[in-house]
Amino acid sequence: MPRPPRAKSPATSSPAAKARRGAAPPPSDAAAPLKPRKAKRRMPPGKGATKLSGRLSADEVDAFFAALSEANPEPKGELNYVNAYTLLVAVVLSAQATDAGVNRATKDLFATVDTPQKMVALGLAGLIKHVRTIGLFNTKAKNVIALSEMLIAKHGGAVPHDRAALEELPGVGRKTANVVLNIAFGEPTMAVDTHVFRISNRTGLAQGKTPLAVEEKLMKAIPAKWALHAHHWLILHGRYMCLARKPNCPACVVREICKFPAKTTVF
């Protein structure tokens, strides 16, 4: 004779019992207390901050570059190269690396390899032996071999004087194309690296959230007479004077023009 079903015990269906069995307790009418949000950490002024008190006027921009020009009339890039091709290779290798480190790696390389044909003949393994001290050397070496092959196949081994053609090459973006167009072909381009981006925002030259936005604003703001050397002046100024963490404001030639509100008084 079948047994009658057992009645549920009130204790086994209680919230506490369900919780012990892994079941979620029924929702409570009282809302759980919200955890207080942690305040966002802000970069202190002078440590890479880009807080501004204003933008430079057209006259101030002119005076800004006049001061940089007086201090360094003929600024030069710090990458060593032999010709347009080795310049292109050096700039590709310099991404996320120091110019000094690239120069050490390319000293012996460029002494014998100064054309795309010679680079392809050297091969990937041979190139890596020269550039293995540079960060991301495997990827960069592959790009150098690939761009050398493309230069031979599509441009007769010459570096093209054309932005679109340059940016089509492996490992070449807008910044690299700007450097090559400026140095190799004398075009007044603006290569926005981390130094140019920081200085442009910090000083009030050109405010922007992306390198392209800063580049476009700089190209509009900088008078034509300063345009050819402008990106060299800004890169060198950021590298040696307007440092990210502690700018050397006391020695800065544009300190009276700069809009950065947290200028240092000692260095």
Q: Which ranges in 173-210 belong to alpha helices (H)?
A: 174-185, 194-203
From the centroid of its chain, how far is CA 173?
11
**Dist. CA 52–CA 258, nearest whole Å:** 10
Three-class secondary structure of residue 14 per DSSP: coil
Look at residues 266, 186, 202, 187 and name the one whose alpha carbon lies nearest to residue 234. Answer: 202
Tokens describing residue 236: 């060198």
Write b or e for each residue in 181-203: b if 16 or more Cβ atoms lie within 10 A of its Cβ, otherwise e: bbbbeeebbbbbbebbbbbbbbb
Residue pair 259/253 in contact (Cβ under 8 Å)? The answer is no
Positions marked catalytic = 175, 193
Query: Helix 224-240 crosses helix 174-185 at what angle (to 10 degrees)?
Result: 120
Residue pair 234/250 in contact (Cβ under 8 Å)? The answer is no
